[in-house]
Structure 1
């Protein structure tokens, strides 16, 4: 089993068995603790930042929400007129997303449980992956981009945890403990390191750093990859 497959399966186990209720509450309007409130606020800011990279009017566009979770990004895309394929490795989160989708955009969102890199999903104008690639190393990041970007005519906007002092310390500490009974550990990245991994994988496009969102315990960097257009 590849490193990507092993991590993907661990993520599915975490969200389907350990964290479903936590994420259902975090991504709702229900009251949460102070720490989780900062995470919720950070995720809201990041979602807005990522959406700002795409046209305000997405009528007729086909967009992939890669790692859609409970569906907030997919709904926002559909409200702009996009036809959205929203996929997540966790069937439990997909069920929550289907239950929450507003009736006025439900026909424009195809919620699926599965692997976001599946080529059978087809081609898209753009893809967004918010916090769904944060558990993978640089080679796996390059593999995910290699699987998705060539099937896009536009942008692939995704997030990764940055290599800050705090996140690197947490990552090193997490590696000291077994992973079988705990949540997956985020892997911090630098934009330069990701760009090097993409070049090593033979990807010809351009990676750019958009901005970083810091809100309490939520720290994430938005990046954009675009294939070179002939």
Structure 2
């Protein structure tokens, strides 16, 4: 894979038609059954991640990174819990939407936004979250990006990946026959063993993992600790 070209394509998609599609999925718009299942699965995933976060002891001045913040749904959850949050995304429109959402929620003082790729992140945070971002990358860049996220994490890392699954592979094949207006970007399935070995090499271990499946939304949510 030409990673530079692949990221440029993702940036163009999520800063254009993808922004419109995902803003609708993350919002309250009427959706097709396919997209509605993705919204329901994503909502369930965020609820579980929030529960796990609530069960983790944090200091009063804890910091958090939301890498691939999208329209800011989890950024706001972090800010409401008292975190000082840095929200980043590859797509400028997504970053702008997160900044606007934080302002409307009265949380702008707790949220800093910037356009950035995962590899550009250098600062360290108590909590790092990265949801439905790594699913777009095959094994080698996936491992590099997960290692970078782990290196930015002082305590708790929350992320999703697309696990190897016969059902998921079949859904991907079926999805190829749907009209382009109904399709997602290509999802890359990753072996569980690669996830655990990458985290171990970065000095982290999995303490929770849960498969979230709803219609066309299938990910594994992971909490890893330093």
The two structures have a TM-score, normalised by structure 2, of 0.85
Q: What residue in structure 2 maps to residue 118 of structure 1?
A: 120
| SS of alignment partner, residue 32 of structure 1 | coil
CA separation in 2, counterparts of 1:166 and 1:210?
A: 19
Q: What residue in structure 2 maps to residue 149 of structure 1?
A: 150
- Runs of 4 or more, structure 1, over 6 Å off, are 172-175
Residue 139 (structure 2) pairs with residue 138 (structure 1): yes
In the alignment, is the contact (CA less than 8 A) between 2:67 and 2:89 conserved in 1? Answer: yes
Structure 2, unmatched stretches of 5+, are 177-182
Select the structure that is richer in helix.
Answer: 2
Instruction: Give the stretch that moved more between structures: 67-76 or 109-118.
Output: 109-118
How far the C-alpha of 1:197 sits from its partner, in A, is 4.8
CA separation in 2, counterparts of 1:155 and 1:196?
A: 17
| SS of alignment partner, residue 124 of structure 2 | coil
CA separation in 2, counterparts of 1:112 and 1:67?
A: 10
CA separation in 2, counterparts of 1:173 and 1:3?
A: 26
In the alignment, is the contact (CA less than 8 A) between 1:214 and 1:220 conserved in 2? Answer: yes
CA separation in 2, counterparts of 1:66 and 1:34?
A: 28
Distance 1:225 1:7, change over 3 A: farther
Q: What residue in structure 1 maps to residue 159 of structure 2?
A: 158
In the alignment, is the contact (CA less than 8 A) between 1:86 and 1:112 conserved in 2? Answer: yes
- Alpha-carbon RMSD across the aligned residues, in angstroms, is 2.5
Q: What residue in structure 2 maps to residue 96 of structure 1?
A: 97
Q: What residue in structure 2 maps to residue 66 of structure 1?
A: 67
CA separation in 1, counterparts of 2:40 and 2:61?
A: 30
| SS of alignment partner, residue 71 of structure 2 | coil
Counterpart mapping for 1:23-38 below 5 A: 23-38=22-37
The two structures have a TM-score, normalised by structure 1, of 0.83
Structure 1, unmatched stretches of 5+, are 176-181
How far the C-alpha of 1:209 sits from its partner, in A, is 5.0
| SS of alignment partner, residue 106 of structure 2 | coil
Tell me the alpha carbon deviations over residues 14-70 of structure 1, each in whole angstroms, 9 at most, x when there is no partner: 111232211121111122222222211111110111122223675411000010000
Tell me the alpha carbon deviations over residues 61-115 of structure 1, each in whole angstroms, 9 at most, x when there is no partner: 1000010000000001100111100000011112222222234211101111111
CA separation in 1, counterparts of 2:127 and 2:224?
A: 10
Residue 209 (structure 2) pairs with residue 210 (structure 1): yes
Select the structure that is richer in strand.
Answer: 2
| SS of alignment partner, residue 70 of structure 1 | coil
CA separation in 2, counterparts of 1:100 and 1:46?
A: 20
CA separation in 1, counterparts of 2:164 and 2:172?
A: 10
How far the C-alpha of 1:173 sits from its partner, in A, is 8.2
Counterpart mapping for 1:48-59 below 5 A: 48-55=47-54, 59=60
CA separation in 2, counterparts of 1:40 and 1:119?
A: 28
